[in-house]
Structure 1
Amino acid sequence: MPSAKTSVDSSNPDAIHYDLLLVGGSSSNLVLAHRLLDLAKLSGLTVSIAIVEKGPQFGAHIVSGAISDPHVIAKLFPDYRENGFPIEGFVAKSHLSVLGEAQKWDLPEAMIPEGLQKDGHAILTLSHVIRWLADQLQEKAKDLPNVTLDLFPGFAAQEILYEGETVVGVRVSESGSLTEDAIFARCTCFGDKGFISKDLIAKFNLRPNPQLWSVGVKEVWEIEGDYQGQVWHTLGYPVLDGTFGGGFVYGLSAKRLAIGLIISLDSHNPNINPQQRLQDYKAHPWIQGLLKGGRLLKYGAAVIPEGGYYSLPTRFMVNGALLLGDALGVLDAASLSGVDRAMETGYIAAGLLHDAFLQNDFGLLDAYQQQVLDSFVGRALYTSRYFRNAFLSNGRLLGEYLPAVAASVDERHPWFGSLRYGLAKPIQRATETVVALTQILGKTQRTEPAVYTPCHEQIQPDFSPRPVVVNAHAFTQTLYPRSDAVFFAGTKYHEGNRHIEEFSAETCQRCIATYEKLGKATPCVSDCTAEVHRVDVLRDLHVHAMSLENCIQCRTCEIVCPKMNLRVNPTYEGSGPDFYGL
């Protein structure tokens, strides 16, 4: 819910003005800035640029897998392999595996969809990449007298400012002083995961088909073995309740492992418990073998826009502003590719912005949307446009078929499990499966758009997931309760940092009563990836309360709140988690 004060007069002589304002230290914004500086060096364009970042340092609030095709980086830095660009390694072997409760089945290479064949791709710690890009950007600007570049870590965009229907900048503090705390710009670019761009999208009704969100929970471990270059993406255990999701294990440099779980928030299950599911994942005997003797270094979480093509905004820009990267939602869920897609939107935007500033013609930005759609970003999203819809429209895929195959993996007969499922009700199920597979693989002839329901509307309060057996012999020192995991997220807050809004206490009380009657926690409590939301008893009233000092800024609670009664705002004064190295 945006603040009421959104229309301002930017002509105040004391106000801070730039040509270009980039909101968020995202990969899309930093690539945009690099490309624009390269073009300005060639053309002599005089341009002033500001980047505001809510984290205390660039990269501090970044969580990502990430396995990425480095082709966009190679366009900016042809010598990236030699110039210090931070890479954990290149994928030597990519696996797609199905997990039962005790066993693992690696699919034959011929069965792995092309988008999940990651051999040769770069393994990245994205927070390292972001910090490096920011540092290199400042060095690059020093040699360009025609460029003014100011980076503002610890300054979060709290509100979008307008003159009429034109975006003119943002407010960057809680005080509301529009002379001291506003940054104005001829063009503002949003590359955030919805913290502030959601207000722009809502104001102009740019996303009539809602975004679908998942939450990724991730840990980085120091281990005894060396698995650098080995990559596993997994299906099955512990996500066997019909929810779309899966796990990953990436072998990093210096004997480290990245281990994570991605769970979609459009689940029927009101109590997903992402952080606990990650502990269940780690308890699998296979992962226990990887972790033996290791120690946890970092923990964190972030939401991921995964609706794809049919969740894209109807317009990628409005007067005075562009949407990039995660604000657009260009991640391709079919190939788990988001970083290079986000970077490409910034690369494209930079070329158009350069010409717009040089010619003083912002009508040139009208080409931005079509150029993104014509690029590899748009082409891939169009090919996989029904990927998420295939699982939503055919609940048997995740609700019956995947659990059956996972059970057969434990019986060491995965092929038999696949056939057993396919032979039952052969005509009906074969037809459904063929239709779903054509959509998943991007081979469908469908033309009508997929229509989505907001994530919170998919929740069924009385949903009862099938029980999952967790390895009772897991090493307890490898598993962490949520309260302890927060320590490894490095949260630090200033006094009075009230960054999560609760709009109506009475609405929360009614929600609590609904779920307590069913013997369940409310989604905000169960699905919190830290230890923020809780239920307190005050004078016999069960009320919603928050320990905001634990928040890791993932926005999950806002997305799963059944009554849309919460809003997560960006932290200010550089507060929040420390994800650098995650």
Structure 2
Amino acid sequence: MSDSEREAMEYDVVIVGAGPAGLSAAIRLKQLDPSREVVVLEKGSEVGAHILSGAVLDPVGLDALLPDWKEQGAPVSVAVKKDNFFFLGESGKMRIPNAVMPPLMNNHGNYIVSMGNVCRWLAEQAEALGVEIFPGMSCSELVYREDGSVKGVVAGEFGRNADGTPGPSYEPGMELHGKYVFLGEGVRGSLSKQVIEGFDLAAESDVQKYGLGMKEIWEIDPEKHAEGTVTHTMGWPLGSSAGGGSFIYHLDNNQVYVGFVVHLGYANPYVNPYLAFQQFKHHPYVADLLKGGKRVAYGARAISEGGFQSLPKAAFPGGALLGCAAGMVNVPRIKGNHNAMLSGKAAAEAAHAAIEAGRAGDTLSEYDAEVRTGAIGQDLKRVRNVKPIWSRYGLTASLALGGFDMWCNTAGFSVLGTLKHGKTDAEATEEASRHKEIAYPKPDGTLSFDRLTNVSFSGTNHEESQPAHLRLKDAKRPVEVNLPKYAGLSQRYCPAGVYEFVTEDGQDPKFVINFQNCVHCKTCDIKDPGQNIVWTVPQGGDGPNYPNM
């Protein structure tokens, strides 16, 4: 649709995504200049509806942005009191002493939080400063200036038929223009992908790596609850089939976050991350904790794991990538929210200075420099070799050599330099003929659950008459290539049961996309061999509705 057919609104800065990065940027812009016109566009039905994170929060970002956050009533109150790290076998566990862990792995001084609730609170602070926040507004397109720089986004398009044609209630959306556009979409954002590719921002970077994080909230027996306890595990049930681990965080009100992360660089297409998560809960240590409790919420989200060497340029003509849109997660710490907030603050300061200097719309190179050399870069650089060591040599080497390298980096040097990741997660997938099927236990309905039952605890909903937001570059490839060559791995890597191969009455298999189930984790966009599935935004407000993830 041409520019003339849509209404347009003008702002100083347009921010896509009401996550910790986007909201921090909005707040900082208003702190620097209360007259600055700032808008935040959020695809979720409300702020926080699409936020899923562990989360143990390092408050460094919050301290820098809002030093009086405690007095202002931020929902950050459950301090970490106990830090456990276990290596699991099938029936037992071995504790790794805290004393041998690098200091950066210490969680004391951090807080167990719901990042969804933290973002809701940040949104209140932003709105009190005059920031406009529009939830339920998916940003489907970028708008460019004549010189090729990013000018704005198209948001709020509704009412297309399943075939993509405008329906009877079609609304074309609006163009929101800004002197700068900040993309805080989170991991593998659809617009972020476009600018990274279009402006070749990753030309000097290593490949990005990812993990799939799945999380349940449980209400447990009060006698088993230990508020402030943080536990991480590695080992069983993944073994040598895939890398990853778990987290168990005791927050308040007898609730526990139970999460499981699987690195998506696994080779065996028979790996089923979701069923591995469900199997994990039957370990005696975990099962005893959860016995008598009930699961009250479920969700899943991809995690950027490439680290320092995989960072693309964070600035492009007319805008910036914030937080996980660029990949700012510290993998061994399993933390990225603090860096997301710091990135939002830094981008806001760079944009403010550029606008004041009459440079609106140029490339914020000073922001990119701050990301690489400031607190974010320093945080990521110290742990840059942990992920590639794990990918190359396995868990044991990661614990030993990776731990040694982190200790060295604490002292300001690394004997390993900067290791490369090698293949993308999609390229790492090997043909099924080279592997054996993995027999996972059937969920029992008490501790473990089938995917569709769990998806019902995510509040996920999509208007069924709209075009599927999961698009195939080649409609024939799933049946002709992925099914015979990779045993149809999409039906296993998806944690929401979106993809299935259906055979009826002796006919050829049919590839079915149940996009209504999608929890927006982006795993398909990352892991599918040949990169044949493209994740795009559905209409605004659709997707999961997480209450307090």
Matched, 1:379 2:340: no
CA distance 1:393–1:139, shift in 2 (3 Å): same
Aligned to 1:66: 55
Matched, 1:48 2:5: no
Q: Which moved more, 1:216-225 or 1:536-545?
A: 536-545
SS in 2 for 1:258: strand
How far the C-alpha of 1:334 sits from its partner, in A, is: 2.5
Give the AA of the match of 2:464: E
Any residues of structure 2 matched to 1:333-372 within 5 Å, and which?
333-362=331-360, 365-372=364-371
Matched, 1:202 2:197: yes
Distance in 1 (CA, whole Å) between partners of 2:367 and 2:184 is: 15
Aligned to 1:494: 463
Q: Percentage identity across aligned positions?
A: 28
Alpha-carbon displacement from aligned partner over 1:86-137 (angstroms, at most 9, x marks no partner): 1250100111111111112221121223232112211111011111111221
Instruction: Give the counterpart of 1:170 among 153, 162, 167.
Output: 153
Aligned to 1:119: 108
Matched, 1:546 2:516: no
Could you tell me the TM-score, scaled by structure 1's length? 0.85
Instruction: Give the counterpart of 1:560 among 508, 527, 541.
Output: 527
Distance in 2 (CA, whole Å) between partners of 1:55 and 1:433 is: 38
More helix by share: 1
Give the AA of the match of 2:307: G
Q: Contact 1:229–1:252 at 8 Å: present in 2 too?
A: yes
CA distance 1:139–1:433, shift in 2 (3 Å): closer
Q: Contact 1:270–1:461 at 8 Å: present in 2 too?
A: yes
Distance in 2 (CA, whole Å) between partners of 1:13 and 1:108 is: 60
Rg (Cα) greater in structure? 1
Unaligned runs of 5+ in 2: 161-165
Q: Contact 1:523–1:560 at 8 Å: present in 2 too?
A: no
Q: Contact 2:382–2:406 at 8 Å: present in 1 too?
A: no
Q: Which moved more, 1:322-331 or 1:366-375?
A: 366-375
CA distance 1:353–1:436, shift in 2 (3 Å): closer
Give the AA of the match of 1:90: A
Give the AA of the match of 1:376: A
Instruction: Give the counterpart of 1:531 among 494, 497, 522.
Output: 497
How far the C-alpha of 1:162 sits from its partner, in A, is: 1.5
Aligned to 1:274: 273
Distance in 1 (CA, whole Å) between partners of 2:451 and 2:214 is: 11
Q: Contact 1:238–1:468 at 8 Å: present in 2 too?
A: no
Aligned to 2:163: none
Distance in 2 (CA, whole Å) between partners of 1:96 and 1:63 is: 22
Distance in 2 (CA, whole Å) between partners of 1:326 and 1:513 is: 32
Any residues of structure 2 matched to 1:28-43 within 5 Å, and which?
28-41=21-34
Alpha-carbon displacement from aligned partner over 1:524-567 (angstroms, at most 9, x marks no partner): 11011112100122672212111111111111112111121111
Unaligned runs of 5+ in 1: 142-148, 403-431
Count of residue pairs brought into register by the alignment: 524
Distance in 1 (CA, whole Å) between partners of 2:449 and 2:173 is: 44
SS in 1 for 2:496: coil
How far the C-alpha of 1:452 sits from its partner, in A, is: 2.7
Aligned to 1:134: 123
Any residues of structure 2 matched to 1:469-508 within 5 Å, and which?
476-497=445-466, 498-508=468-478
Aligned to 1:421: none
Q: CA RMSD in A?
A: 2.5
Distance in 1 (CA, whole Å) between partners of 2:436 and 2:234 is: 17
CA distance 1:13–1:302, shift in 2 (3 Å): closer
Aligned to 1:579: 546
Distance in 2 (CA, whole Å) between partners of 1:255 and 1:581 is: 14
Matched, 1:464 2:453: no
Q: Contact 2:101–2:403 at 8 Å: present in 1 too?
A: no
Q: Contact 1:201–1:207 at 8 Å: present in 2 too?
A: yes
Any residues of structure 2 matched to 1:91-130 within 5 Å, and which?
91-130=80-119
How far the C-alpha of 1:435 sits from its partner, in A, is: 5.5
Alpha-carbon displacement from aligned partner over 1:416-440 (angstroms, at most 9, x marks no partner): xxxxxxxxxxxxxxxx997655445
Give the AA of the match of 1:267: Y
How far the C-alpha of 1:250 sits from its partner, in A, is: 0.1
Q: Contact 1:61–1:577 at 8 Å: present in 2 too?
A: yes
Q: Which moved more, 1:487-496 or 1:79-88?
A: 79-88
Q: Contact 1:101–1:468 at 8 Å: present in 2 too?
A: no
Q: Contact 2:23–2:123 at 8 Å: present in 1 too?
A: yes
